[in-house]
Amino acid sequence: MPAAGSGQRFGQEIPKQYMPLAGRTVIECSLEPFVADPRCTAIVVAICAADGRFADLQVAGEAKLSTVAGGAQRADSVLAALESMQAPDDEWVLVHDAARPCVSQAEIDALLEAAGVGEDGALLAVPLADTLKREAAGRVCETPSRDSLWRALTPQMFRLGDLRAALRAARAAGRSATDEAQALEWQGRQPRLVAGSALNLKITTAADLQLAAAILSQRGERR
């Protein structure tokens, strides 16, 4: 779980993953389904080296959970977590953003089912619904087709060895993938798209936190 970001766009002193949500914090909500799932045998959370908050959370005491220092980019934080894992190369690993507290059990189950089908892994995603506009100097210069375009969510699921190799290769090439699938794509792989839910939003701004609170409260804080 990459959790080493500083939440520049959220713009609060407290990084967004530590904001209160549903009686706990955003990151605790994001961790919950994985902590509770016996199929998930180890969790590594990449936190900022200067982070003084994670250790104070109740979840920090979970036996299967450990932390590592994250890096400058999201991909660096993910790779740092993978490098600390002892599991065999063919073990499956899921990468899930600390900033996505509304992932559902149904999405995780769908992802696990789809990823096992091939060898290239899979990611949750949602087909694009809005019309896209490209901007130049405040005006529309193009309306790109949204045909076959999806928004990538997390979790994303790959073989540990494949993902680690892909992220190492990207780093060696001076490239930073914005999601795990992209690093695999650069290796010529074609991860499967698994339809997720628009409710599995990423908290970027204060409005997203309000939406997440509404979603979790309607769900009765259960998944």
Residue 154 backbone dihedrals phi, psi, to 5 degrees: -130, 160
Helices assigned H by DSSP within 154-205: 160-172, 180-185
The reply on whether position 46 binds ligand CTP by CB under 6 A is yes
Residue number with CB closer to ligand CTP (77 or 156): 77
Residue number with CB closer to ligand CTP (38 or 166): 166
Q: Which of Mg ion, ligand CTP, none does residue 101 bind to, with CB < 5 to 8 Å depending on kind?
A: none
Whether the Cβ atoms of residue 184 and residue 91 lie closer than 8 Å to each other: no
Q: Which of Mg ion, ligand CTP, none does residue 102 bind to, with CB < 5 to 8 Å depending on kind?
A: none
Six-digit token pair at 178?
């914005």
Whether the Cβ atoms of residue 120 and residue 205 lie closer than 8 Å to each other: no
Binding ligand CTP by CB under 6 A: which of 93, 98, 163, 184? 98
Q: Which stretch binds ligand CTP (CB under 6 A): 73-81, 86-94, 108-116, 193-201?
A: 73-81
Q: Which residues contact 129 (CB under 8 A, 6 or more apart)?
A: 198
Q: What share of the chain is helix, strand, coil (3-state, %, to 5)?
A: 35, 20, 45
Residue number with CB closer to ligand CTP (73 or 104): 73
The reply on whether position 3 binds ligand CTP by CB under 6 A is yes
Whether the Cβ atoms of residue 30 and residue 65 lie closer than 8 Å to each other: no
Instruction: Pick out residues in 174-213 that bind ligand CTP (CB under 6 A).
Output: 202, 204
Task: Count Cβ atoms below 10 Å from residue 1 Cβ, excluding itself.
Answer: 27
Residue number with CB closer to ligand CTP (44 or 215): 44
Residue number with CB closer to Mg ion (5 or 70): 5
Q: What are the residues binding ligand CTP (CB under 6 A)?
A: 2-10, 17, 46, 70-74, 77, 97-99, 202, 204
Q: What are the residues binding Mg ion (CB under 5 A)?
A: 5
